[in-house]
């Protein structure tokens, strides 16, 4: 047993002292500006800004109904479960590859029975040979780092799978929040259509009554009916959208969302924190899980180059066994029956028709592809943050303008309706003010939805959603 321990110690020392043929890793320079864009479209919200990556999603989303739905999705979403299973696969592959770095100890036993017909006269021709041994078989002594670089590559793939799962989580949180907000907006759109359908219905009844008395023309009746029918059509469409929104939300949540957690209208206030920064260094993007996953893939490709380079050098293997052998089972473990054998071997590739050279070129080309992938991930992240900041920077002014437009349209409609009932103005003016109000209500709702989803996207783009 002491010999075996000594053998393992020597093997471990040889492994740790091995050469490393992989290129020295240098993180590529970020192919984006050092800071986020500046200009009139990138105005901040003011106040003490929070760090998205350090802000838990339960703190960022402040509507308790939405928080509960997101929590349900994180526990039940099937895509997230698939990403978690991918982690398990990568971890298992890493353990399998890592095992090649160390000698595997095997135990064996055998019994051989022989009967020799030409034994000497008076002696038995039968002999029984028993043997038991423990040792290693064809263990590669990794002097040039081939096995260790393959293990490093498998480890980096495992790390990449973890970050891919994290990226799936941040994307899921954003998807659930946007789906919940879309349903809230469609509920509000349905309410607007119902209210205006009632208003248009009263106008249609009044116009028909005036037509019956000869005050209004049939053209005015038809015009009033077009607005009423359009509102009816919008009610049917919005009803369908609400049902589809609920189906989408149930799919994302991985379960049926309780009715008390569903939105009934667009919330009057914010559903998220608003004090995200408007200016941040590009290095902050390195905390995004998709960019971290791309870098782990690049590290794996770098290690694969080392493994491909090591294939050009001799491959040294060792087979060794320690045990006991005797002619009788009762003498198998007695003193003097010890046996041992050590058989090192080496092989050097001389001519392989370009196989090793092709593997090395492939590894280098794959590394170049991973560099480009990493840089593209950084550029994509920068663009997403910049777009979200540009949208947020002008959102307040647009929301104020749309609110003012809606309020003016409401007043204009009430005035035109009063003048129509008093016989001062014709019906066409009232009809135009009705349509203007309807469009203003819809535009304001769309702007409110855009503002809410923009905050969700900015939080995700800045790396939020992991805590």
424 by Cβ neighbours in 10 Å (0-12 / 13-18 / 19+) ranks as exposed
Looking at CATH, the fold of the domain delimited by 34-95+142-311+382-461 is given as: Outer membrane efflux proteins (OEP) (1.20.1600)
Residue reference for tokens 């989408």:
248
The number of beta carbons lying within 10 Å of the beta carbon of residue 221 is: 16
> Is the Cα dihedral 275, 281, 282, 285 positive or negative?
negative
Q: Where are the domains of the chain?
A: 34-95+142-311+382-461
Q: For each successive 10 residues of the chain (467 residues), what is the average pLDDT?
A: 49 55 81 76 64 84 90 84 81 74 70 62 60 68 76 84 86 89 91 86 81 80 84 90 91 88 86 78 83 89 83 74 66 65 71 79 85 88 85 84 89 81 72 84 90 88 82
**What's the pTM value of the predicted model, to 2 decimals?**
0.80
pLDDT, position 6: 46
Nearest to 73 by CA among 255, 271, 246, 248: 255
pLDDT, position 243: 92
């Amino acid at each position: 047993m002491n010999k075996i321990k000594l053998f393992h110690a020597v093997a471990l020392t040889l492994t740790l002292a091995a050469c490393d043929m992989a290129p020295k890793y240098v993180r590529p320079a970020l192919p984006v500006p050092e800071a986020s864009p500046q200009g009139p479209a990138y105005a901040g919200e003011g106040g003490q800004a929070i760090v998205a990556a350090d802000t838990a999603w339960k703190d960022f989303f402040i509507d308790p109904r939405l928080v509960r739905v997101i929590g349900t999705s994180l526990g039940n979403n099937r895509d997230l479960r698939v990403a978690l299973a991918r982690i398990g696969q990568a971890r298992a592959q890493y353990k399998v590859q890592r095992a090649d770095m160390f000698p595997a100890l095997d135990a064996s036993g055998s019994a051989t029975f022989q009967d020799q017909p030409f034994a000497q006269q008076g002696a038995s021709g039968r002999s029984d040979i028993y043997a038991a041994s423990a040792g290693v078989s064809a263990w590669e002594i990794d002097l040039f780092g081939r096995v260790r670089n393959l293990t490093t590559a498998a480890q980096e793939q495992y790390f990449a799978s973890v970050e891919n799962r994290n990226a799936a989580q941040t994307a899921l949180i954003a998807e659930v929040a946007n789906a919940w907000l879309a349903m809230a907006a469609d509920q509000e759109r349905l309410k607007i259509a119902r209210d205006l359908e009632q208003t248009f219905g009263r106008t249609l009844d009044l116009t028909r009554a005036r037509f019956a008395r000869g005050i209004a023309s049939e053209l005015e009746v038809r015009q009033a009916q077009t607005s009423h029918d359009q509102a009816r059509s919008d009610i049917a469409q919005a009803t369908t959208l609400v049902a589809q929104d609920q189906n989408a939300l149930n799919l994302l949540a991985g379960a049926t969302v309780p009715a008390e957690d569903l939105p009934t209208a667009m919330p009057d206030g914010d559903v998220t924190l608003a004090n995200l920064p408007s200016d941040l260094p590009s290095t902050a993007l390195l905390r995004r899980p998709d960019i971290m996953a791309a870098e782990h893939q690049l590290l794996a490709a770098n290690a694969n180059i080392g493994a491909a380079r090591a294939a050009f050098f001799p491959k040294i293997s060792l087979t060794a066994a320690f045990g006991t052998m005797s002619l009788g089972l009762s003498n198998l473990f007695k003193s003097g029956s010890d046996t041992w054998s050590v058989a090192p071997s080496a092989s050097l590739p001389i001519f392989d028709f370009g196989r090793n050279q092709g593997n090395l070129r492939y590894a280098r080309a794959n590394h170049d592809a991973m560099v480009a992938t990493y840089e593209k991930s950084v550029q994509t992240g920068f663009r997403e943050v910049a777009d979200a900041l540009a949208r947020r920077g002008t959102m307040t002014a647009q929301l104020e303008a749309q609110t003012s437009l809606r309020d003016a349209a409401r007043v204009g409609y009430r005035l035109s309706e009063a003048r129509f009932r008093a016989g001062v103005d014709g019906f066409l003016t009232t009809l135009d003010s009705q349509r203007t109000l309807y469009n203003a209500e819809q535009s304001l709702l769309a702007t409110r939805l855009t503002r809410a989803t923009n905050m969700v996207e900015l939080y995700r783009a800045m790396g939020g959603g992991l805590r």
